[in-house]
Amino acid sequence: MTNLTLGNLLINFGHGSKVEKAAVLRANDHMKVYMDLTCFDPSEFYQEHPNLCGSFSALFCNETKKIEVHLKERNPGFNRKMEELGFTLIETSVVSCGFVFPRTIVQIINEAYYALGDKVAEREDINRAMKFGVNYPVGPFEWSEGKEQVVKTLLDELYKKTGDKRYLACPLLDT
C-alpha cells in the first residue's frame, strides 16, 4: 500500500487486507482519508471510521486511468491530486463490495479460470474468444495478469458477505 499525504488529506492506494486498511484509518484518525477499497465493502468502513471521506477502486485501472469513486465528503484537494496523477474520476452511487467494474470482471475472470481448469481451452484461446467474439477490450487473463491475489481477495469477500457459492474462487487462482 502507498499513502500520499497533503496537509490533513491522506490518499491510500494499493492492495491490502481488511485489517491493514483498517489500521491505516485508525493510525490517521485526525486526517481526512480517501482509500482504495476495491476488494471490500466501503459502507462497512464508513460506519467504523468516520475519518474515511471517500473510497475508490483503482486496482484494475487500465491505461485510460478512469476509476470509480464514491465520495461521502467532497474535497477539492482529493480531486485535484487524483487528476494530477492522471486519473479521471467516475463518480458512482454504488457503495457495495467490489464497486461495479471490479465485481463484474472478477466474476468473468473466475469463470475463465474454471474453464481453463476444465481444459475447455488454453489461456490464449480464451482471451482471443472474449476479445473477438464479444468485443471485450482485453481478455480475462490479460485483466488478471499479476492481480490474481486481488481477484481472489474480492471473490472471497463477496462469498463471505453473501454466502452465495457463485463467488467461490477457482482453486487455480491460488496457484
Partner 1 sequence: MKQLNRSNTLPASMDLNRIVVIGAGTMGSGIAQWFAQERCQVDLVDTSKEQLEKALRSIHSSWDGLVSKGKLLAPDVERMKRDLSVRALDEVAPDCDLVIEAVIEDLKIKQDLFKQLDSKFSPHTILASNTSSFLITQLSKVLSPERKRRFVGLHFFNPATIMKLVEVIKGKESSPDLCQDLYAWFDQKGKKPALCKDSPGFIVNRVARNFYGEPLRIVGEDSPDRMKEVDEILKQVGGFKMGPFELMDLIGIDVNYSVTCSVWEAYQHEPRFAPHELQKKMVDEKRLGRKTKHGFYQYD
Residues 46-85 that bind partner 1 (CB under 8 A): 62, 64, 66-68
| Of the candidate residues 4, 86, 117, 132, the single one contacting partner 1 (CB under 8 A) | 132
| Of the candidate residues 71, 131, 142, 161, the single one contacting partner 1 (CB under 8 A) | 131
Binding segment for partner 1 (CB under 8 A), chosen from 6-14, 18-26, 30-38, 90-98, is 90-98
Decide if residue 140 touches partner 1 (CB under 8 A): yes
Closer to partner 1 by Cβ: residue 33 or 155: 155
Do 39 and 59 touch, CB atoms closer than 8 A?
Answer: yes
Decide if residue 93 touches partner 1 (CB under 8 A): yes
Closer to partner 1 by Cβ: residue 10 or 170: 170
| Of the candidate residues 7, 30, 76, 134, the single one contacting partner 1 (CB under 8 A) | 134
Closest CA to 97 of 22, 167, 31: 167
Instruction: Give one DSSP letter per residue of 33-95, joined into a string.
Output: EEEE-TTS-HHHHHHH-TTEEEEEE-TT--TT-EEEEEESS--HHHHHHHHHTT-EEEE----
**Cα gap 41→121, rounded to integer Å:** 34
Decide if residue 164 touches partner 1 (CB under 8 A): yes
**Cα gap 45→39, rounded to integer Å:** 12
Angle in degrees, CA 121, 126, 129, rounded to 5: 120
Q: Tally the residues of the chain.
A: 175
What DSSP character marks residue 171? G
| Of the candidate residues 5, 8, 17, 104, the single one contacting partner 1 (CB under 8 A) | 104
Which residues here bind partner 1, judged by CB under 8 A? 62, 64, 66-68, 90, 92-94, 96, 99-101, 103-105, 107-108, 110-112, 114-115, 118-122, 124-126, 128-138, 140, 164-166, 168
